[in-house]
Every structure is written in C-alpha cells, then in structure tokens.
Homo-oligomer: A and B are copies of this chain.
Amino acid sequence: MLTIALLGFGVVGSGTAEVITENQDRIRRATGDGIEIKYILDLRDFPDSPFADRIVHDYDIILSDPEVQVVVEMMGGSHPAYDFTKAALCAGKSVVTSNKEVVAKFGTELLALAAEHSVHYLFEASVGGGIPILRALAHDLATNRVHSVNGILNGTTNYILTRMVEDGISFDAALAEAQQKGYAERDPSADVDGHDAARKIVILAAMSFSVRHNPDTISIEGIRNVKVEDVRMAALAGCAIKLIGHAEKTENQKLQLWVAPCAVPHENPLSHVNDVFNGILTDTDMLGQTMFYGRGAGKLPTAGAVVSDLTDIATHPYDVATAQHWSDGDSACLTDSATEEKARFLVILPPALDNAKLADALSAVAMIGNEEIGRCVITTGKITRAALDETLATAGKNASVYRII
C-alpha cells in the first residue's frame, strides 16, 4: 500500500482523490497493491466531502508522519509549493506534482534534492495534462537523440484560435466565449500571453536535452495580436495559426527555445489539433516524427496523470541511473531567434502593386491573393526574422508575420 498526502483540494486535488477512489481496482492491478490517501492539506474544511476526516491544516503533521511515502503537491504558484516540496524531499518523501511553475523554475534543484535523498520527483501532470509525454521522453525516447519538440501546450489559446478559424470571430470575441465556457480565466494573461506555454516548453526541453532554462529568459509571444484576417489568409495558404512552444538543438549545440504563434502547414499533424486539445510532436533520430495528442487540462485528465506517477512510484524504487538529472542552462546557449534562426515565414499584408517586388526581395516560394481578395500572402524563402523585418521596413510595409514550422 502506497500511503500519500495531497497538498491542495481544489480541482486537481479533488480529481486525484476521485480517480484513486473510483479506479482503486485498476490501481491494485497495476501496482499489485493500492494507494491510500492519509491526509489532505488545505486552508479550507470540506465537511460534506467523503474525505472530510483526512483534511489537515498543518503541514508538519504530514512531514512528521513516517507512514506518508509520497506528497502530491497540487497547490499551484511558486510559494509555498516550492518550500513544501523541498521539505518533503528532505524528509525522504517522494513528491508528485502538477505544478508547472515550480518545475520550470526550480526543477533542477528539486531533482538534485530528490537524488540526494533517493526519492522520486515526478511531474507528468505539469505538461499536456493527461498526455503521457514526459514518461515517453524519459523512457521510450530516452535512447533516441531528440532533434526538436514542437507543442500546442495551452488549451485556452488553442480553443480561441480554433474558434477564430472555424467561426471567423475576432480574438476578443473568442476570448470572451472561452471565458464564458470556463476555458479561460478572468485574467487570461498567463494563457494568452504565452507564459503557461513557456513553462511547459522549458520542461519539455529539459526532458529532451537535460538542460533547464529559466522561462523568464526565453522569447515569448502570445496570441493577442493574431487577427482573424491572418487566420483566414493562412488557411488559404494551407496553414493553421497555432501557438507553438518550440525547442530545437542547432548544429552548433545551441538551443532554439521560444513560444510564438506560428503557421503550421496542414501536412503537419499539429495543424489538426483543435479546441482545448494539446499535441506534442517530437522529432528524434531513430523514431522520426512522433505525436502525442490529448486533453491538456481538466480535472480528470490531469488527475489521471498524477495517478500514473503514483503507480510508477509504487512499482519502481528510485533509481539514480534512470531518474532525470538536469543542469541549469546559461541563456548565452540560447539562439537569438530573430538574428540566428533562418526559417520560412508567412507574410500577410494589404494588397498593393509592388507586393510582387517585395516577394522577389524575400526570395518568395509562393504568393497568393492580392487585389482580388483584399489581402496578399507571401511565403518567403529561408531568412532570418531580422532580415525579413528590415526588408519590410525598407519597403514601407506593415504586415502580419508568422514563422512556418
């Protein structure tokens, strides 16, 4: 029997209790034994909950109980989540978390602390909700060299962009709809400005390359400036606009690491990941392209991922050889995406007679529209964003620009 304590009894916490209760038979079969929730730490009381008798308000009760083997941190935010995690690891207890903020900011230190005490620090639920992507990177793809990871990592922004494509509504209208449906927070900044996706791509990059970068140091662009005309024109050019988290090792061993709305060609399976779903596309030396798709958020999918970490702990003792070990990366090892990365871009701009000349200057491989549809879409040749912006400025053009992945 694995004895655990939950920190936080909100959406994910109560979902975790629900999954453990409902699927105890499956958990017994998968682990050879069950999981028992001994304590639930929350500021509130839950007198009507079947777990009312497990609620405690003092973390020391959990820390000092030698029966508690695993602490499941689902509080969100950096503090006190980080401090509670450290305390648990130092007390020789494994920690499972859904808290991407803590993993992205403090993962290197916490993994080292876990190794020091020979306990697990697992966080499958922190990226892609119910999608088992972290375990795939840690185990199935571990003998591969990862070239790149591209992910649709935020359900809220993907829902908004899907509505803009399918219903032709504006960003503001789609955001309001997402808020009404409960997919977006009243303050939607963490989602729509790309910070949530940034934490997740930082974690995916660390899993892929064993180096964690501070999410505050990477280039992040959200979707507030995506226009409904852009989305429609991109579709004409055979692309969907998606908010992409991107990590890629370059030939000179630097790392491309950023979040930005990109143009995803319809041949790329990520372009068909719609609504609140997430998708993560890995490109590795042996397996080639592999995509993992599923519900990136929500009570039960996230709780399901927490429980899969718990069954992992129940069935595998900590093993220093197979555990994650990260180092903290120097931001000098990140490429400057504007000046050091060459790519093709979709350039969407008002019709004009001299657009063909601009297309020429951009070594364009395609140009569609212009006067007849009130908008022009140029697919550039391979170029840096800085050179592209300079060419646009020289031509006196104001355009929407999306990197093609």
Q: Taking beta carbons and an 8 Å cutoff, which residues of A are in contact with B?
A: 19, 22-23, 26-27, 29-33, 124, 130-132, 135-136, 139-145, 267, 269, 272-274, 277, 284-295, 298, 300-301, 303-305, 307-308, 311-312, 315-316, 319-322
Contacts and interface: CB of A to CB of B under 8 A. Distances in A.
Contacts of A295: 287-290
B289 A294 contact: yes
Contact of A19 (B135, B136, B143, B269): B143
Nearest to A295: B288
A183 to B, nearest CB: 15
Contacts of A131: 287, 290
Contacts of A287: 130-131, 294-295, 300-301, 304-305
Contacts of A311: 139, 142-143
A384 to B, nearest CB: 31
Quick one: copies of this chain in the complex?
A: 2
A265 B32 CA distance: 40
A274 B267 CA distance: 8
Nearest to A291: B293
B286 A19 contact: yes
Contacts of A298: 288
Contacts of A322: 30-32, 315
Given A143-B26, A272-B269, A304-B286, A319 B19 contact: no
A285 B21 CA distance: 13
Given A130-B290, A272-B269, A26 B144 contact: yes
A136 B130 contact: no
Given A131-B287, A132-B141, A135-B139, 19 more contacts: A19-B143, A26-B145, A32-B319, A130-B288, A132-B140, A139-B308, A139-B312, A140-B305, A142-B311, A269-B277, A272-B272, A287-B295, A288-B294, A288-B295, A289-B293, A291-B291, A291-B292, A292-B293, A315-B321
A294 B298 CA distance: 26
Contacts of A301: 286-288
A182 B20 CA distance: 48
A139 to B, nearest CB: 7
A196 B321 CA distance: 38
Given A269-B273, A286-B300, A308-B139, A294 B291 contact: yes
Given A269-B293, A272-B272, A322-B315, A143 B30 contact: yes
Contact of A31 (B31, B136, B269, B321): B321
Given A19-B286, A286-B19, A316-B316, A144 B32 contact: no
A19 B315 CA distance: 28
A289 B131 CA distance: 9
A320 B130 CA distance: 26
Contacts of A320: 32
Given A19-B143, A23-B286, A291-B293, A319 B315 contact: yes
Nearest to A307: B143
B308 A143 contact: yes
Contacts of A319: 32, 315
B132 A27 contact: no
